[in-house]
Structure 1
């Protein structure tokens, strides 16, 4: 005890913390139910958006195609805009796009349509020969099962190519032609404004955003245009190389219908993985029926398959990394899932657009929190 100094009172005891209030929505099952409701709400919203887009395909598809073309030709437009008035540059580029792409598509469609019956008959005969060979195997399926598979495959190919409604009569055909013309005109008009005023339109759309979100949306727009343009230009270059390589092989083997097969290779190359495989199978079936200068159709088919495999290996290991960059390369599982979803939602056009749109989404994630900073959940975790 020290005299002359008052003893301090002991500190008051801290009351125990009140236990957290518990209720039906605060325990583990309540949190799970809350998350489930949130997920259901997101799924319902996404389903509503998809339903609306599918019912507005006459508008949605031309706008998407206009965005794709504008992104693909954005470097050319930037170069022209720096040397001449914007309107003149837009008119020149738009006429070039419509003329070149329209001419190429017209030539392809004409060449394929002119010999489509011969191509179909050759492929059918090739399938018949394959089926006859399968029947010689010890565990071959019976003829009834094979016939059912072949009919199902024919139905799928017919529905995928022409749509289920085009065979219902002349009214459906006129409606389809009218929708195509309307969509084509709308796409050209929208493409004109995207080429001419693309940056101005994007700045207008960014007006509601401020501060960090404004900078983020700027990164998103720039990354989306760069990714989509690079993907389309790279895929076009890869498709051209695939078609040239396989076409030269078919011509050397003197396979009939080599030109239509080459054009089909170019068109189908825009569908990753699946497209090249389908083109190779079709070319091999034609070679199996008529081996060209070879008397052995089976040997010609094997050589065609080897050419297709070699070109695909060159594409996957050299062309795509050089022309498209590894940053745009998606995992094969992601590609297959995107192709499946796109095909289910929009048929062949969905299969073509699904992968570039998936690449755009991945590119947006990569710049979500900074120029080179992905979203937090997408960053690589440091190992302890």
Structure 2
């Protein structure tokens, strides 16, 4: 018979090794076993340590979510101010590098800021006017394209795989123009009822312009005032996070505009060779769509492909889709890392989730500001953590 080896203490020949237990654990175990504790047993003593940690984490998460919800409700209540100030900050981040260039040349900051502001707003106004004028001049072409699209869609609905009844197909296609004409009075009255909204947009635009100008003229005094609101021992971390956030936003805006321009310019020859109408407005549409990561350029591409489908056929539409995907992937994977570096280090899945969440919460504006907001918060937190590591090692 073979004898299995066992440690000495298994046969009483020695003492079992004792492991160090957390302070107070042995006493609680003894008290629980003997029932002779110093006082009545507390209910929390029956809750495991892991459950207590999970409960505290859950409470902290709920408090953070409650604070975010309260801030969101406050910002929504003053939505016009929130939107205009956010756009002003992003415009300032886009124009600030030009101010620094003029400052290095020797111009005083007020003059440099004023010149950059005037030239920047003039450029934006010119692009907007050019796009609107092109669309207005091509109004008849657009109407004809819509009519052709309606006929094509009706033919597909009736004779395609869906086999929709002709009367039902007419309801959604050829009768659409008659429906709009019959309800023209209601549409005009609805536009008139939005006059207050138009006035709000005008006042918001004026506020955005003045806020942008004041931020460009400022030499950092506004941010120093914000830093002084923090406790004394935290001001260094707040200043570090603010510097990282601002550099992130500046790099992001610069990359966004450059990539949007490259996408639009690269698509112009392709659309021109394919013989598509409205090349200039479509290029502007691609540029504007590129300002909203992932989703915006997809929407712009769908519109381009639809126009190609209606005017030139299925083959041209497929070619336009392939060319647009190749252009976006080429500039996104090759040019964008060179422009951004590590300034905006977000996974594509994180960008997609962020843009989708921003769209659900605040529509087009939420989709526009979601990615830079997350990138700014991410890099600000990283900067604080990196600044605290030397202190912890010391």
Above 0.5 in TM-score? yes
State the Cα deviation string for residues 274-329 of structure 1 (Å, max 9, x = none).
222222221122112222xxxxx222112212211220221222121122224414
Q: 1:312 aligns with which of 328, 337, 351?
A: 328
Q: 1:106 aligns with which of 122, 129, 135?
A: 129
1:348 and 2:361 equivalent? no
1:138-287 correspondence runs (5 A): 140=161, 143=164, 169-209=190-230, 213-287=234-308
Q: CA shift at 1:130, angstroms?
A: 6.8
Which has the larger Rg?
2
Output the TM-score relative to the length of structure 2.
0.75
Distance 2:260 2:128 in 1: 14
Query: Which residue matches 1:22?
Result: 42
Q: CA shift at 1:353, angstroms?
A: 1.3
Change (3 A) 1:167 1:206: farther
Distance 2:45 2:190 in 1: 57
Q: CA shift at 1:258, angstroms?
A: 1.5
Distance 1:372 1:253 in 2: 57
Q: 1:298 aligns with which of 314, 318, 332?
A: 314
1:62 and 2:78 equivalent? no
Q: Is the 8 A contact 1:74 1:195 kept in 2?
A: yes
Q: CA shift at 1:135, angstroms?
A: 7.8
Distance 2:100 2:154 in 1: 55
Distance 2:157 2:332 in 1: 31
Q: CA shift at 1:349, angstroms?
A: 1.8
Q: CA shift at 1:237, angstroms?
A: 0.5
Q: Once superposed, what is the RMSD of the aligned Cα atoms?
A: 3.3
- Partner of 1:206, secondary structure, is helix
Q: Is the 8 A contact 1:366 1:373 kept in 2?
A: no
- Partner of 1:367, secondary structure, is helix
Q: CA shift at 1:192, angstroms?
A: 1.6
Distance 1:124 1:271 in 2: 30
Moved more, 86-95 or 364-373: 364-373
Query: Which residue matches 2:94?
Result: 72
Q: CA shift at 1:169, angstroms?
A: 2.4
Distance 2:252 2:199 in 1: 31
Larger helix share, 1 or 2: 2
- Partner of 1:255, secondary structure, is coil
Change (3 A) 1:211 1:46: closer
Q: Is the 8 A contact 1:224 1:360 kept in 2?
A: yes
Distance 2:148 2:235 in 1: 60
1:90-101 correspondence runs (5 A): 90-101=113-124
- Partner of 1:272, secondary structure, is coil
Distance 1:105 1:313 in 2: 27
Give unpaired runs (5+ residues) of structure 2.
Answer: 1-23, 33-40, 173-186
Q: Is the 8 A contact 2:289 2:300 kept in 1?
A: yes
Query: Which residue matches 1:52?
Result: 74
Give unpaired runs (5+ residues) of structure 1.
Answer: 1-14, 152-165, 292-296, 377-384
Distance 2:84 2:370 in 1: 15
State the Cα deviation string for residues 24-49 of structure 1 (Å, max 9, x = none).
59724565555444433332222221
